[in-house]
Structure 1
């Protein structure tokens, strides 16, 4: 049984992360672990909220605000547990009290996959997805990651991005091994080539032989142009809500067009779940 981590900020609980993680864990009979990153240096309030009527920090205000944050975090955990129980999942909860990024990276060593919202910051600030926190996690994580949008929409199709580089094949392999039940969804292999090249699939015979064993009913689409533009336009026109599989996020280990900006563009522009795995 595989172990899937759903990473949460208990002060800004992501129902989208919860719902995507439950869908995937249920379809794949996986063990779901809700990891609540209770970073001791992160609270919901700001320093000026602690100022008392006579000036200076008010211990009474600080105590009340800390108690309110603790209650909010406890309610987030209870909500996750209730949803998992209703779904009939095997699940666990862990309250990680390390610095959020350090705690999640450590957790990733012992996980098969992480599900996280692209909007997570673990600060009082709101940032556009993918946030700096998420980008930092993706560059150092030790397992595949499913970055999900702020709103949950059940996916009903798979789009596997393939450019002929080992990194893109590795991502498809990891997805196949990690989430075999999702192969029941319609699947398309999508490639974009320079305008001066043919429309033949890269490594055509080898790729089709590989896909026949893993996704035997997959369809193929090869286009020409600038990958960021062509892929975004193609996916925006999709009638079914897809999950995207993408390779190589790590700097220095990227293919010629699956570079970090590709993942950033997809997460920002499409608001779709993106499975990212680098080797």
Structure 2
């Protein structure tokens, strides 16, 4: 059983699009294997009219749309209760309907008081789900797991750590220690240029630290063949990884935090769950 994972937040947003949630099944599976409580937030986005000049027909259409989303979220919540009960997982389910800004605030506040937040992956760069992922990463102070399609069962036997000796990577390793200790094999992967790798052995300094925690760890350094993200993705396949642990990078653009290149690429392309810390 996973140690020190006692509270799991599973976040979903209902936007009226038929999108099956891998995060729900994965999160319940993780809670089952760790003996954790699951808090399931099946929220729906509330459309708010921005002008009092909108006619009654427009107001009625918006009200009907909000009602439909509310009903869909309630149905998801009921299914989540049943799934959690069937798995023997203690769970609380909430189905609030909130405007986008309020929804993000609620998710972030909830994440702060849970060990980890679990959400579905989102390939689009700009939409509500992507905004939620970024808010959880940059504002909650807690790790986030992003779950791609078809990953509906927690597996953590083989884990890759993307290591670049940065504070964020160190934070991710520490946050993921329970998973690393429980894994059968952990590979510390460093990707860089030939010049960078000729000067040092990235990851060599991390391996003894992990070994002292009882982690079965190896180190692998790879010369980047073009895209760092593509190199990491290829190694995930070769290693048979169940999870990738990495620090989330960003840069400031017009005062808004925007995900950095490698993190952005992994969110779009990953086939395994991402464990991200910032």
TM-score range, shorter chain: 0.7 to 0.9
8 Å CA contact 1:199–1:224 kept in 2: the answer is: no
Q: Does the 8 A contact of 1:16 with 1:148 survive in 2?
A: yes
1:7 paired residue number: 11
Q: Return 5+ residue gaps in structure 2 as ranges.
A: 253-258
For residues 1-279 of structure 1, what are the structure 2 equivalents within 5 Å? 2-10=6-14, 11-12=16-17, 14-41=20-47, 57=57, 64-98=64-98, 99-119=102-122, 131-152=130-151, 154=153, 155=155, 156-177=157-178, 179=179, 183-196=182-195, 197-198=197-198, 200-202=200-202, 204=204, 206-225=205-224, 227-235=228-236, 237-238=237-238, 240-251=240-251, 260-278=260-278
Q: Partners of 1:240 and 1:120 in 2: how far apart?
A: 23
**Which secondary structure does the structure 1 equivalent of 2:198 belong to?**
coil
Distance change (3 Å), C-alpha of 1:207 and 1:267: same
Q: TM-score, normalized by length of structure 2? A: 0.77
Q: Is the CA contact 1:130–1:264 (under 8 Å) kept in the aligned structure 2?
A: no
Q: Report the Cα distance in structure 1 between the residues aligned to 2:44 and 2:60, rounded to whole angstroms.
A: 22
Following TM superposition, by how much is the alpha carbon of 1:198 offset from its aligned partner in structure 2, in angstroms? Answer: 2.3
Report the Cα distance in structure 1 between the residues aligned to 2:198 and 2:235, rounded to whole angstroms. Answer: 19
Does structure 2 conserve the Cα–Cα contact (< 8 Å) formed by 1:38 and 1:97?
Answer: yes
User: In the TM superposition, what is the alpha-carbon distance from 1:107 to its structure 2 partner?
Assistant: 1.7
| Whole-Å separation in 2 of the counterparts to 1:73 and 1:17 | 15
Q: Which has the higher strand share?
A: 2
| CA shift for structure 1 position 41 | 2.7
User: Quick check: 2:119–2:146 contact (8 Å CA) kept in 1?
Assistant: yes
Secondary structure of the residue that 1:131 maps to in structure 2? helix
How many residues are aligned here?
254
Secondary structure (helix, strand or coil) at the match of 2:194 reads coil
Moved more, 159-168 or 222-231: 222-231
CA RMSD, 1 decimal: 3.3
- Pick which of 261-270 and 83-92 moved more: 261-270
Unaligned runs of 5+ in 1: 44-50, 253-258
C-alpha deviation, 1:267, in angstroms = 1.6
| Structure 1 residue 271 displacement after superposition | 3.0
SS at match of 1:171: helix
The 1:15/1:248 distance shift into structure 2, 3 A limit, reads closer
- CA distance, structure 2, for counterparts of residue 78 and residue 241 of structure 1: 33
